[in-house]
Amino acid sequence: MATATETKNLRTPIVCVMGHVDHGKTSLLDKIRGTAVVNKEAGAITQHIGATEVPLSTIRSLCGNLMSGTVVIPGLLFIDTPGHHAFTTLRSRGGALADLAVLVVDITEGFQPQTIEAIKILKQFKTPFVVAANKIDRIQGWTPTKNGPFILSYNKQPDYVKTAIETRTYELVGKLSDLGFSSDRYDRVRDFTRNVGIVPISAKTGEGIPDLLMVLIGLAQRFLEENLRMTVTGPGVGTVLEVKEERGLGFTIDTILYDGVIKVGDTVVIGGKDKPIVTKIRALLKPAPNREIRVEERFDRVPKLTAAAGVKILAPGLENAVAGSPLRVAKEDSVEAIIKDVEGELEKARIVTDETGIMVKADTLGSLEAIINELRDSGIKVAMAEVGDIARKDVVNAETLPGSLNRVILGFNVQTLVDAKDYLQTSDIKTFNNNIIYKLIEDYEKWQKEQKDLAEKKRFEEIVRPGKVRYLPNCTFRQSKPAVIGVHVMGGCIKPGVTLIKPDGSKVGIIKQIQERNENQSIASQGKEVAVSIDGPTAGRQINEGEIYYVDIPESHSKVLEFELKDTIRQDELETLMEFVAIKRKGNPFWGR
């Protein structure tokens, strides 16, 4: 076992925790934050604004002799807000802010929709991740060893408990494989660049957390050394986590610094609502541990900070800052260039939309981008996309979208404002709201299918259907005005209002009424013998007993029947249609093509 050594010029990797609702993301973060308290020997855990830092020395003492190899990174910085929503909101130069992710899966429930959604996002951002198979303490028969490494606890369990863990781990391996990742329990993974490690943990007992931290360190070193070898001494670069008004302080921004150094007095450029904000840092604030919560004392003031760190920044003009946007420290001669850079980054983040499609509203640029990617994967085009609640003007804009199936607004994690709700009552725009991407897409797709089916049904009902009848011998009930004759429906059907033609293409007349045993009928299908009244001909002159007539189908309807509905119409209808089409094509081979 080699000893771990620190190398100061690599920055701390940033880690985000993701997973399905209730699988234990918050509990895991709480456990990590509480570790130092629980385990005195474990060493310090530093609380940042919006993040928790676990220094290497802490990880080392937690892992004991599990840790091997040379460690060259200073520790891990966990973003305190869990969920893939936070992950997509926090961006750095067009990518994800988090260098690594922990995907929490409840081992007793396995993969759930949001687990899959998180994996898709991680894949999209190419973020290395580890699976924390949580709640192992709930496996029947599990005897916990608090805060211990998983392997040590596992070895103490009876065989049936071991088997249960193994079986459930392999279920996760199977699911990951379906999604294109090869994986195994972390202690069996040799190459973390090829395999995803699964670490069984309990956020309740703390078991497996040392192993999880260790795997994260390993991942960071294998994947990220180049990324982490940043200009730790250069001008600071960060991402705005949150814009907050603090009592007694005014507007502040909680920021994750992921590169370089930031100092009080530095000029910074920040993404703003309309344009980049240029301002001077008045104070850098860190949480003050264990103090009375009085504003002035809630924070410690620090003169400077080095990446990676979470910090609250106090400066004039922050009220227009935008969460998720970039922050850059600028030297006097570089302000203009950096403003351009920040503008460029915001521009890049702006969503590229399709010419036609639906409207999407989401709460942040990151989530908007994530949802648009998912929609495109599902073959759904997006014509309008914006950050913000659904307002009346959005509904008005959506009304200009061509195509009835596009006249919808998909809202992700946003409200429908009152004026929009009022306007929607008289508008044909449909809105969908959800804070789970897959559900939003599923709801829209379901609606889309219903609409298509409905339209198809309507179209089908309106189409003149094929029909073939024979004028029965001895069944002339009236000669003319209208002629009333008995017919046998040989194929398809007839309805009042259709025109009949002869096999030579000449017109017979229009069916006025159909009667069966003196009762009016709206349709007579194959096999029926009915009386029909026909406007136009005189029986015995233009029409004669024993003749065959066809329903005259308009050319456009014939095309639909022959080319779109061919597989859905009955055999006798199809045969009748083909005979009818042949009559038409005798005179014009291109008829109905």
Residues that bind ligand GTP (CB under 6 A): 19, 21-27, 82, 134-135, 137-138, 202-204
559 is in an annotated binding site: no
Residue 25 labelled as part of a binding site: yes
What is the C-alpha to C-alpha distance for residues 338 and 329, in angstroms, rounded to an integer? 8
Q: Is 231 exposed, middle or buried (0-12, 13-18, 19+ CB in 10 A)?
A: middle
**Residue 381 assigned as binding residue:** no
Cα distances (Å, whole numbers) of residue 128 to 24, 113, 192, 222, 488: 20, 20, 9, 10, 73
C-beta of 79 vs 220, nearer to ligand GTP: 79
Do residues 121 and 137 lie in contact, with contact meaning Cβ atoms separated by under 8 Å?
Answer: no
Residue 22 annotated as lining a ligand binding site: yes
Segment holding 383, helix H or strand E: strand 382-387
- Asked if residue 468 belongs to a known ligand binding site, the reply is no
Question: Would you say 380 is a known binding-site residue?
Answer: no
Cβ nearer to ligand GTP, comparing 204 with 512: 204
Q: What single-letter amino acid sits at 397?
A: N
Least distance to ligand GTP, CB of residue 21, Å: 4
Q: In this structure, is the dihedral angle defined by the CA atoms of residues 246, 249, 251 and 254, taken in order, positive or negative?
A: negative
Least distance in angstroms from the C-beta of 436 to ligand GTP: 11
Contact 513, 524 (CB under 8 A): no
Residue whose CB is less far from ligand GTP, 46 or 134 = 134
Distances, alpha carbon 434 to alpha carbons 45, 292, 328, in Å: 37, 39, 34
* Of residues 23 and 328, the one with the C-beta less far from ligand GTP: 23
Shortest separation between residue 247's beta carbon and ligand GTP, angstroms = 27
CB of 28 to ligand GTP, least distance (A): 7
Rg (CA), the chain: 36
Between 114 and 252, whose beta carbon lies closer to ligand GTP? Answer: 114
Side chain identity at residue 33, one-letter code: R
Q: Is 48 annotated as a binding residue?
A: no
Closest CA to 17 of 114, 151, 148, 110: 114
137 or 394: CB nearest ligand GTP: 137
Would you say 286 is a known binding-site residue?
A: no
Least distance (Å) between residue 167 CB and ligand GTP: 18
Per DSSP, the residues of 218-275 read HHHHHHHHHHHS--TTSB-EEEEEEEEEETTTEEEEEEEEEESEEETT-EEEE-BSSS
Q: Is 23 annotated as a binding residue?
A: yes
Please answer whether residues 269 and 338 qualify as being in contact, where contact means their C-beta atoms are separated by less than 8 angstroms.
yes
Chain centre to alpha carbon of residue 257: 28
Segments of 56-127 assigned E as strands: 75-79, 91-92, 95-96, 100-106
Least Cβ distance, residue 86 to ligand GTP (angstroms): 11
Report how far residue 325's alpha carbon sits from residue 365's, in angstroms, rounded to the nearest whole number: 9
Choose between 230 and 436: whose C-beta lies nearer to ligand GTP. 436
Q: How far is the CB of 51 from ligand GTP (least distance, A)?
A: 16
Task: Classify the C-alpha dihedral 343-348-351-352 as positive or negative.
Answer: positive
Q: Of 24 and 74, which CB lies nearer to ligand GTP in the complex structure?
A: 24
Rounded distance between C-alpha atoms, residue 16 and residue 368, angstroms:
19
Indicate the residue among 22 and 516 with the shorter CB distance to ligand GTP. Answer: 22
Rounded to an integer, what distance in angstroms lies between the CA atom of residue 187 and that of residue 199? 8
Q: 236 among the known binding-site residues? A: no
Q: Give the contacts of 246 (CB within 8 A, at least 6 positions apart).
A: 252, 295, 312
Closest separation between CB of residue 172 and ligand GTP, Å?
15
Least distance (Å) from ligand GTP to the CB of residue 363? Answer: 16
Nearest distance, CB of residue 20 and ligand GTP, angstroms: 7
488 a known binding residue? no
Q: Is 544 annotated as a binding residue?
A: no
Question: Closest separation between CB of residue 310 and ligand GTP, Å?
Answer: 19
**238, 308 in Cβ contact below 8 A?**
no
Closest to ligand GTP by CB, 137 vs 386, is 137
Task: Tell me: is residue 19 an annotated ligand-binding position.
Answer: yes
Q: Which is nearer to ligand GTP, 23 or 465 (CB)?
A: 23
d(CA 299, CA 104): 31
Return the structure tokens found at 298: 């809630």
Residue 139 annotated as part of some ligand binding site? no
Nearest residue to 380 (alpha-carbon basis) of 365, 359, 402? 359
Residue 83 assigned ligand-binding role: yes
Q: Which residues are annotated as a binding site for GTP?
A: 19-26, 80-84, 134-137
Q: Which residues are annotated as a binding site?
A: 19-26, 80-84, 134-137
